[in-house]
Amino acid sequence: DFERALGEVQPAFGASTDMFERCRLNGIISPGEKHEKLHHTCRALVEQVRVSPKTPMLTCLLEGAAGSGKTALAATLAIGSEFPFTKLVSADTMVGQSEMGKCQALAKVFEDAYKSPLSLIVLDDIERLLEYVAIGPRFSNVVLQALLILLKRQPPEGKKLLVIGTTSLPHVFEDMGLTATFNVSLHCPLLGGEEGKKVLSQIGAFEPHELDAAVALLDEQTPIKKLFMLLEMARHGGGGGGGGDGDAEDGGKIPLERWIACMEDLHG
Ligand X SMILES: Nc1ncnc2c1ncn2[C@@H]1O[C@H](COP(=O)(O)OP(=O)(O)OP(=O)(O)O)[C@@H](O)[C@H]1O
Residues 96-135 that bind its own copies (CB under 8 A): 96, 100, 103-104, 106-107, 128, 131, 133-135
Q: Which of residues 4-63 bind its own copies (CB under 8 A)?
A: 22, 25-26, 37, 40-41, 43-55
Question: What amino acid occupies position 117?
Answer: P
Site residues (CB under 8 A) for its own copies, limited to 128-167: 128, 131, 133-139, 141-142, 144-146, 148-150, 153-154
Tell me which of Mg ion, ligand X, its own copies, none is bound by residue 160, counting a contact when its beta carbon lies within the kind-specific cut-off of 5 to 8 angstroms.
none
In the complex, the smallest distance separating the C-beta of residue 100 from Mg ion, rounded to whole angstroms, is 25
Candidates 20-28, 107-115, 137-145, 231-239; binding stretch for ligand X (CB under 6 A): 20-28
- Of 73, 39, 37, 62, which Cα lies nearest the Cα of 168? 62
CA within 13 Å, CB half, 257? 2
Catalytic: 87?
Answer: no
List 71, 86, 166, 167, catalytic entry: 71
CB of 166 to its own copies, least distance (A): 13
Q: d(Cα 88, Cα 75) in Å, to the nearest integer?
A: 8
- Spell out the residues 6+ positions from residue 240 whose beta carbon is closer than 8 angstroms to its own: 246, 257, 258, 261, 262
Q: Is residue 72 a contact residue for ligand X (CB under 6 A)?
A: yes
Q: Decide if residue 253 touches its own copies (CB under 8 A).
A: no
Annotated catalytic residue 125? yes
Judged by CB under 8 A, does residue 188 bind its own copies? no
Q: Out of 71, 76, 119, 140, point to the residue binding Mg ion (CB under 5 A).
A: 71
Task: Please tell me whether residue 224 binds ligand X under the rule CB under 6 A.
Answer: yes
Q: By the 8 A CB rule, do 86 and 78 touch?
A: yes
Q: Which of Mg ion, its own copies, ligand X, none interacts with 88 (beta carbon under 5 to 8 A by kind)?
A: none
Stretch that binds its own copies, among 74-82, 87-95, 192-200, 204-212 (CB under 8 A): 87-95
**Which residue in the set 19, 28, 29, 91 belongs to the binding site for its own copies (CB under 8 A)?**
91
Residues found near ligand X in the complex (CB under 6 A): 24-29, 64, 66-72, 125, 166, 168, 224-225, 228
